[in-house]
Amino acid sequence: MPFFSDVNDRAKRRAIIMMTIGALLTGALLSFLLKSFAAGNTQVPTQAARVALELEEETLGQENRTLESELLKLQSDSNKANQAEEALADARNKAALTAVTGPGVIVTLDDSNQLPSADAQNVNLYIIHEEYLREVVNALWNGGAEAIVINDQRVSTHTGIVCSGSVILINNTPQSRPYTIKAIGNPKALEASLDFYYWQYLLAFQEQYGITCTVKESQSLEIPASKPVGYRYAEPVGEG
């Protein structure tokens, strides 16, 4: 210890004692501080956890009420033979495998008639893209649509809407303009559901570039069934 080499013994001892006490207290304080920090930190995720739990509770509650009412409906039917046929028809309908009819809205989207030359920079603004169809369909489902068809393609659980060159593939089937989307549901609610930013943006394109973007109510729409799917990977299992 060269630092203390020429100090007398007494001072040396005293200094060492002082330093030791200091170091000990510092250590003790540091550990106390760390604990306080740890305690302080748990509060943030705890509040977040409370919110998350509330959401989960709400979700589970809603889901259980729906399941309960379906179960009650199934159990209340006393004619067994009828019930089997009914259950099957009901499931087929939910799977979009039944043609349906009812009131709703018809949305028409079409490319502009004043199309500039194909190599013009802004030619994209004059044509209907697959995303427009997806956004409109999403909005209609949100508005409580019960069945949707685009041209002759019923929108089911498995329906993809993608672009492939100059055509839009729906259910892997090429579709071309004009695109007619029919949705069955409460006509007023469906129309209201289209009042969102994306629709406004399409209306602006209609104004500026001449694309077609219209919605009209209809009291009687016919929507075809979708095609059954053979499953190769998914196996039904019990929940949980």
Closest to 98 measured CA to CA, from 203, 222, 214, 200? 222
Q: Do 211 and 107 meet the contact criterion of CB atoms below 8 Å apart?
A: no
150 binds another protein (CB under 8 A): no
Comparison of 183 and 211: residue with beta carbon closer to another protein: 183
Got the DSSP string for 93-161? HHTT-S-EEEEEEEEEEE--SS---TTSTTGGGGS--HHHHHHHHHHHHHTT-SEEEETTEE--TT--E
Comparison of 124 and 231: residue with beta carbon closer to another protein: 231
117-136 residues in contact with another protein (CB under 8 A) are 134
166 binds another protein (CB under 8 A): no
219 binds another protein (CB under 8 A): no
How far apart are CB 191 and another protein at their closest, in Å? 14
| Residue whose pair of structure tokens reads 């002082």 in the numeric block | 18
From residue 31, how far is each of 19, 23, 27, 44 by CA, in Å?
Answer: 18, 12, 6, 21
106 binds another protein (CB under 8 A): no
Contacting residue, 128, 136, 147, 211, with another protein by CB under 8 A? 147
Contacting residue, 13, 92, 188, 216, with another protein by CB under 8 A? 92
Q: Report the distance separating Cα 168 and Cα 89, nearest Å.
A: 32
Contacting residue, 117, 119, 121, 231, with another protein by CB under 8 A? 231
> Helix or strand or coil: residue 1?
coil
192 binds another protein (CB under 8 A): no
Question: Which range binds another protein by CB under 8 A, 99-107, 110-118, 201-209, 210-218?
Answer: 99-107
Task: Return the structure tokens found at 127.
Answer: 């044509």
Stretch 16-45: interaction string toward another protein, x if CB under 8 A:
--xx--xx-xx--xx-xx--xx-xx-xx-x
Tell me the site size for another protein, rule CB under 8 A. 109
